[in-house]
Chain A
């Protein structure tokens, strides 16, 4: 039977098998779970509930809050990382001496495991024992970084601290691979720094920016470690993010069916964003 399949496809079999085992099966299975009320502790009561879990999420205030938190987090963190990253990349591009050392230092935060970064900031920013609040205290500033108002923004700041270097890395590589000639033409044409940046650098760098933002956004949507290490979603639901809620629902409360539904909603939203962004990029490229 196998003989009737063209040889090229037969070579694909190992990949197809591995793909089915590690991706397709879990994906389809969890999609199925999301349509049932599967709960680890009550497996014999499992029943097919259709899209009830999904419609239920619409009324779930905590879930809605988590969605909003996640989007605010991603939007703020990625925008800040882009702005800072671009500014730093532009500076580094002009740097004349000690380039490699500077770059190595600047990239260091990227190499720390996120859970450690979370723990580090948990102590650095702690209101009682943290160094930073203490220093601010000497200037008479009382700031509770993990209070209800600020906690989410503190998370954003931590993400910016850790992942701006990644932006710098991508954007710097992009900047350095841009053709030199349009920039020389702009100098002869008499364009100011700002006009050159706006009308030449940015448009030429755009594909790199889109890819960098996409990579960072996809990664930021997965934010979990900082929340887990510092606030556990609190105070209240101030830092409750989707990933953390999925973890709590599925692993904490054993409600895997519901957790799967939560995850799929996020996947759908993220995929839509990716497709739209790439479509636009492709259209502009032609």
Chain B
């Protein structure tokens, strides 16, 4: 029996249309908009201004606190302005607009393809370099990686989990990366192990990627302490708590961090970025993005510079299909629908999904028939039907008791509800309110 997390979960159609498409390099666009907040934590502070010329890899915004990270230019050219524009959240965010000229990289970056396995650095040096290189969790959460590598006092990691699950339907960027940058990921994993001072790393991959499982299992033999485990296909296995549970059987306590059970989770994309950041001196300014959808003429995996507008990616995949109704940044379960094609690719953009008009609109919802499906699919063991009712009636003390804050917003409940109830919408609203209540209590 394949391992998986023990509670709840769903299995939406996988639709991995682009899994056979090798990663292609998308040339820098004519202009980019690079937001200074592409991560969880404090936005970085811009250090360039209008008229400055920048090179690829140069810092353009500096980390402003520990939970923050540097932003580097992904292109060379001239800073047009530092201004506000909407990102995938829909809110205007500060960022740097650059008109692209040529493709001139800073000298420090090693642009060769040669695999560099050896490293001499200490754990602290690795953490510092990761911080300098602006590396964040590339699975979509965009939590600054260096923060995860420094556990709170009194806590110690004993295992590093590398997340190659890619449980979101449609997305294939991690899958391609595992096939094409296998050894780089393994070296990145070793660097992370060293930084965390753990002896053991496990790469978790869902069983719908047998080629990646085989390749990584084979190659990992020469790397001390790294093993690969095949997981049963089940969403949301890529969630940190679910992956830890699937691989180690441990349960992160309610309200706690993974480190509480001795685990740290990093995405395969992050491991690759760590390799590049340390072995090649290359800061994080480009990433692999899947551009896909049933009507897309050529679904692809592209290596894209951060700041590239969504419209450029869509052109590269054959243009916007006639009947497109929704553009999603990320996957269909947790991604964000974006309102404008000017929204830039950021460090957290794992894919762009174009949905056809018919699938873009939600169906009307009807009464809850108490079928309990939402309860049985919830990976956290919550009662979504009840949380929705409590939000509707605004009874927030009860939602807090019912552990609404533990919801990981995976959407399994809304996905499953036969009455089409917008469970997660109401739960998000409730979480917002309960969060406010908790914060005001602390003051």
Q: Is B one of A's binding partners?
A: no
Q: Which residues of A contact B (CB under 8 A)?
A: none
Q: Which residues of B contact A (CB under 8 A)?
A: none
